Amino acid sequence: MEYKFLRHALFIVLLGSPFMSGFAQSSKPNVLFIAVDDLRSELGHFENSSIRTPNLDKLASRGVSFTYHFVQVPTCGASRAAFLTGKRPSRIAELGNNIMADEFPNKPESETPETFIHHLRRNGYHTVGIGKISHSADGYVYGYEEEVSTQQELPYSWDELLFDSGKWGTGWNAFFGYANGENRQSMKKQVKPYEAAEVDDLGYPDGLTAQLAVKKLRELKNQSHPFFLGVGLFKPHLPFTAPQKYWDLYDEDKIPVAKNPEKPQNVSNNSLLESGEFNQYALGKEKAGLDRQLSEAYARKIKHAYYAAASYSDAQIGLILAELKALELDQNTIVIVWGDHGWHLGEQQIWGKHTLFENALNSALIFKIPGSKVSKIDSSIVESVDIYPTLMELIGIDNPSGLDGESFASLLKSKESQTGNVAYSYYHQGISMRTDRYRLTKYFRNAEPTIELYDHQTDPLESVNIAAENPEIVAKLMPLLEKGNTGLYDKK
């Protein structure tokens, strides 16, 4: 991947003091954390990208944007659980969306914090959640078609848990909502996977979330102790809905289709995905599958829809960041924007996220540190589990024991990227390891082949599995991959 910013360039931010200099002398920094559902690592500040994300681009120009950030699990709930706890999955249950809803509320509060947010709360932070931070759309445990419960998904993490469900009535209805107030559930899935409506930003849920975040920032400004504000935006998760003006940013005919729209060579269909989440939107014009591709015209339509939804979410981030600056809170607030996983937009003949390929595992990650003079696109490999210890190091709080992640705080104050890192991801009865050059995936199943190797130097699109003809490379990398086996699978 190439970039519009020089990869290792150091840009100077004119305003601000030296890196972190004010934190030790005054109160600890605030934290503004923004989670964006399904936001893959395709942003406007990456070269050859057609997507428009001007607010994220502006944030990246004043901070550090990681090109090779990888999640632990390519599904929402499990990815967020690993990120929030700083721990890799070690049980099959930890690969599912409901791991937090099923287990966290039933645990008594213990010495080990349930999440890094709980750890911040114990260390004097006022914690506020708005929208989807854990897996639940509004932080409460209930089913898609049930009434909102009073049981929080993270019972020890929040001082305040807020959400404006607007005309949709519940968080899950809003999550799958359309502009007329209906949702995927109420319409019995007789809906399209996208929508462009003549409404303003408040016509969809993320606009209400941004509005609520702005209001809460104004209230938090006058607090005497630091805050953690978590804001969870839904888009660009399916359905790809956005006000018409965000669709109008693009000429659909000029949106490029995937460069690798066919199934990779030398790979079992068991490693791939039938795009079931995408196909359940019954009024979609075409269905995706491993036995057929979308037409080029419809592929452009769906990619256009994803781009519009991402641009809508970007605009909401812009509103929140503008308010942070207007209140002068930006001078003492760490900003983090994180995508919970990637998404195949037709690559490998897939429309979805549940695979161990790069497109599903590589997501957006941007850090902005107040007072820092470092601004760069960073090509170091980092993982979601690294964010917990990184944030604690930046703030000056000791980590609890047992974290799997490692702090990359040093990268945030260096103009250089770092080589030699690896990232581990888990799904589909497999473990995938990303190094600077290779992706090695091992599946614990009967369907062959169980080993996949991709050389990102010659095949960055992961189109050809070269494991069979490169046994020496596999043998060299396999011990490193096995280090990532947390006990999730038998080691053999």
| Residues known to be catalytic | 76, 135
* CA pair distance 118, 236, nearest whole angstrom: 28
- Type and span of the H or E element at 443: strand 438-443
* Token digits of residue 159: 């001082």
Q: Are 358 and 463 in contact (CB under 8 A)?
A: no
Do the strands 451-455 and 438-443 form a parallel or antiparallel pair, or are they unpaired? antiparallel
**Which residue matches tokens 């978590």?**
230
CA 392 – CA 238 distance, rounded (Å)? 33
Contacts of 27 (CB under 8 A, 6+ apart): 224, 225, 226, 332
Nearest to 208 by CA among 238, 173, 184, 239: 173
Of 313, 72, 338, 268, the closest CA to residue 305 belongs to 313
| Tokens 């981030």, located at residue | 317
Whole-angstrom distance, CA of residue 153 vs CA of residue 151: 6
Let me know the angle formed at the C-alpha of 412 by 409 and 418, rounded to the nearest 5 degrees: 85
